[in-house]
A and B are shown apart, each in its own frame.
Chain A
């Protein structure tokens, strides 16, 4: 049996390694570019968020002469002001020219209304469909409200009333999140990426070894050889699992490197992805490769052609990622029972590792053994499927 396994394994590996296209999609696209895209996209959006917090906000003010104090206040608050007068039509044309522009209009009546103690009207022009303009507008509004409440306090004080009268509540938020726990939301996506890249690593081999072999007409000849059919298919599952392992190593290494380029520290997060964590993730995921390979092989066994297999496996790839989605949505905490569920347990273990928590050996053992058991069962099922006559298609 060992001899058959090794012979089939060697042949499948050689075939896949020589096929540049399937090698590229198995080991290069997702495991290598996945984490890079992930880190790149994330750091880009974070950079935007960080810089916009500190940036001076550009604001055009029309009718600045009517409210010199307000203009002074906004300058103090760090707004970069452009003073320019225009009528309504002129303003609209101006914003159409540059959609990021936000214009504050101070009407002539502003000063008199303010002096009379009436609500003084201001107008804020902005294109709310532009995310940057909307952000500028809301920051401007906040600053204006702040100025308004200062005015209100002053008015109350002038009338001999304490401003505290109109402030019945004060809420102090106590944030207990640590930099590491805050980053897990972001890093949750990482475990999804690791599971997906691992599965994709063995997908082409699983298809090629089953549906592909049938489509090319080599399966029937293979079945005339004096070895049990199940042993042939075990060899194929093993080859697929080995490719998944290679993809797993690649995706872990790339992720651990890519994550250093995400500016997590700047938003008060930290990522814990050193060699020890990488090793922990590898050990947690290793049993999953057999399960993934067997699952894909079983599904591919039912399909008649390469194309059909590709369609089905694409859909099947969603199944192992479902528990991750559920865990993410319901904010599931690691528990011994959950360690019995493959892919959910790997996700929780990876999350714990990234969060910097110690890896409980019992959890690791339950997860590994349960996943292995499912993997062995599915492998046996694949072997059984190949004993049927219908496998010839």
Chain B
């Protein structure tokens, strides 16, 4: 469960996030939807504690991310925007490194790595060095290391960026699986179809503020669009272009 209340964050003159509040529940997929530069990534970065907000607060499973960042980090698994891996290490070693830093070890860790390797179909390349991996293989490594400690909350920053059709489908399947396993999944995207296809709950962010939120169906009812894309355009106003 994620609770975000009146979050604000500026970088010098630029107000990246002005007032963002929403809740994301366990066993649900919540999508942060918005154009480029709307403040989605900044919101996520505050949630995974690499940025400190100027205002407001954010709780993951009731833990304040500002007061207890280490406690918060234990409960979250993060797929960052450009999730690079260590090129000289194999996929398995990359995952193991993260597992160790989560305090795991021994057979528990090895069994968990095996589990992730089979779950993410990584067996053919799990013992190869990640230098030269395709974008899809890289995302799998990054996802596996984010999930190694079985976090209750999973944060994904534009996870399908740069993936081909098959890899995108596989990733969506995986996100649905995470949901059925009871994880709280929060991901950001500027791709409408993706959000429409996956999310139980949509939070539309524009210019650092929440423009609208609710289930895709509720949003469509409220704004009267026939599709989510149309709804999205109506929410943002006609002048807003989507990248």
Chain A residues close to B by CB (< 8 Å): 3-4, 7-8, 11, 14-16, 18-19, 216-218, 220-228, 389, 392
- Which residue of chain A is the closest to B69 with respect to CB atoms? A226
Known: A14-B89, A217-B84, A226-B70. A389 touches B49 (CB 8 A): no
- Which residue of chain B is the closest to A19 with respect to CB atoms? B88
Q: Would you call B119 an interface residue if the criterion is a C-beta within 8 Å of the partner chain's C-beta atoms?
A: no
Cross-chain contact of A18 among B82, B88, B100, B101 (Cβ < 8 A):
B88
- Which residue of chain B is the closest to A4 with respect to CB atoms? B101
- Which residue of chain A is the closest to B129 with respect to CB atoms? A18
* Contact assessment for A7 and B101 in the assembled complex, using a CB-CB cutoff below 8 Å: yes
* Contact assessment for B89 and A216 in the assembled complex, using a CB-CB cutoff below 8 Å: no
Q: Would you call B132 an interface residue if the criterion is a C-beta within 8 Å of the partner chain's C-beta atoms?
A: no
Cross-chain contact of A228 among B70, B83, B84 (Cβ < 8 A):
B70
In the bound complex, what is the Cα–Cα distance between A360 and B78 (angstroms)?
55
Known: A217-B81, A220-B50, A224-B50; 4 extra A-B contacts, CB below 8 A, are A15-B89, A217-B83, A224-B48, A389-B50
Question: Chain A contacts of B71 at CB under 8 A?
Answer: 226
Q: Would you call B103 an interface residue if the criterion is a C-beta within 8 Å of the partner chain's C-beta atoms?
A: yes
* Contact assessment for A218 and B49 in the assembled complex, using a CB-CB cutoff below 8 Å: no
A-B contact pairs, 20 of them (CB 8 A): A3-B100, A7-B97, A11-B86, A11-B97, A14-B88, A15-B87, A18-B88, A18-B89, A18-B129, A217-B84, A218-B84, A220-B82, A221-B142, A224-B78, A226-B71, A226-B102, A226-B103, A227-B101, A389-B50, A389-B52
Question: Chain B contacts of A216 at CB under 8 A?
Answer: 84-87
B104 to chain A, nearest CB (A): 11
B42 to chain A, nearest CB (A): 11
Question: Chain B contacts of A19 at CB under 8 A?
Answer: 88
* Contact assessment for B97 and A221 in the assembled complex, using a CB-CB cutoff below 8 Å: no
* Contact assessment for B100 and A223 in the assembled complex, using a CB-CB cutoff below 8 Å: no
Question: Chain A contacts of B145 at CB under 8 A?
Answer: 221
* Contact assessment for B80 and A220 in the assembled complex, using a CB-CB cutoff below 8 Å: yes
Q: For chains A and B in complex, what number of residue pairs have CB atoms within 8 angstroms?
A: 76
Please tell me the size bucket of the interface on B.
20 to 34
Question: Chain A contacts of B86 at CB under 8 A?
Answer: 11, 15, 216, 218
* Contact assessment for A217 and B82 in the assembled complex, using a CB-CB cutoff below 8 Å: yes
Question: Chain A contacts of B76 at CB under 8 A?
Answer: 224
In the bound complex, what is the Cα–Cα distance between A99 and B52 (angstroms)?
75
In the bound complex, what is the Cα–Cα distance between A155 and B98 (angstroms)?
96
A236 to chain B, nearest CB (A): 13
Q: Would you call B201 an interface residue if the criterion is a C-beta within 8 Å of the partner chain's C-beta atoms?
A: no
- Which residue of chain B is the closest to A214 with respect to CB atoms? B84
In the bound complex, what is the Cα–Cα distance between A135 and B66 (angstroms)?
77
B14 to chain A, nearest CB (A): 14
Which secondary structure characterizes the binding site on chain A? helix
* Contact assessment for A217 and B101 in the assembled complex, using a CB-CB cutoff below 8 Å: no
In the bound complex, what is the Cα–Cα distance between A11 and B51 (angstroms)?
26
Cross-chain contact of B49 among A3, A8, A224 (Cβ < 8 A):
A224
In the bound complex, what is the Cα–Cα distance between A9 and B135 (angstroms)?
28
* Contact assessment for B74 and A226 in the assembled complex, using a CB-CB cutoff below 8 Å: yes
B136 to chain A, nearest CB (A): 16
Question: Chain A contacts of B103 at CB under 8 A?
Answer: 3, 226
In the bound complex, what is the Cα–Cα distance between A3 and B166 (angstroms)?
39
- Contact indicator per residue, chain B 116-130, by CB within 8 Å of chain A (1) or not (0): 000000000000010
A25 to chain B, nearest CB (A): 15
Q: Would you call B112 an interface residue if the criterion is a C-beta within 8 Å of the partner chain's C-beta atoms?
A: no
Question: Chain A contacts of B87 at CB under 8 A?
Answer: 15, 216
B237 to chain A, nearest CB (A): 32
Cross-chain contact of B50 among A7, A8, A392 (Cβ < 8 A):
A392
5 shortest interchain CB distances as A-B pairs: A217-B84, A217-B82, A216-B84, A226-B73, A18-B88
Question: Chain A contacts of B50 at CB under 8 A?
Answer: 220, 223-224, 389, 392
- Contact indicator per residue, chain B 5-20, by CB within 8 Å of chain A (1) or not (0): 0000000000000000
- Which residue of chain B is the closest to A15 with respect to CB atoms? B88
Question: Chain A contacts of B26 at CB under 8 A?
Answer: none
Question: Chain B contacts of A220 at CB under 8 A?
Answer: 50, 80-82
* Contact assessment for A221 and B80 in the assembled complex, using a CB-CB cutoff below 8 Å: yes
In the bound complex, what is the Cα–Cα distance between A225 and B73 (angstroms)?
6
In the bound complex, what is the Cα–Cα distance between A216 and B142 (angstroms)?
13
Question: Chain B contacts of A221 at CB under 8 A?
Answer: 78-80, 83-84, 98, 142, 145-146
- Which residue of chain A is the closest to B74 with respect to CB atoms? A226
Question: Chain A contacts of B78 at CB under 8 A?
Answer: 221, 224
B24 to chain A, nearest CB (A): 17
Q: Would you call B158 an interface residue if the criterion is a C-beta within 8 Å of the partner chain's C-beta atoms?
A: no
Question: Chain B contacts of A225 at CB under 8 A?
Answer: 73, 98, 101-102
Question: Chain B contacts of A227 at CB under 8 A?
Answer: 70, 101
Question: Chain A contacts of B98 at CB under 8 A?
Answer: 221, 225
Q: Would you call B206 an interface residue if the criterion is a C-beta within 8 Å of the partner chain's C-beta atoms?
A: no
Question: Chain B contacts of A226 at CB under 8 A?
Answer: 70-71, 73-74, 101-103
A199 to chain B, nearest CB (A): 23
In the bound complex, what is the Cα–Cα distance between A217 and B84 (angstroms)?
4
- Contact indicator per residue, chain B 123-151, by CB within 8 Å of chain A (1) or not (0): 00000010000000000001001100000
In the bound complex, what is the Cα–Cα distance between A4 and B78 (angstroms)?
19
In the bound complex, what is the Cα–Cα distance between A14 and B129 (angstroms)?
12
In the bound complex, what is the Cα–Cα distance between A11 and B96 (angstroms)?
10
In the bound complex, what is the Cα–Cα distance between A211 and B181 (angstroms)?
38
In the bound complex, what is the Cα–Cα distance between A11 and B85 (angstroms)?
12
- Which residue of chain A is the closest to B71 with respect to CB atoms? A226
In the bound complex, what is the Cα–Cα distance between A255 and B60 (angstroms)?
58
- Which residue of chain B is the closest to A221 with respect to CB atoms? B80
* Contact assessment for A11 and B80 in the assembled complex, using a CB-CB cutoff below 8 Å: no
A357 to chain B, nearest CB (A): 45
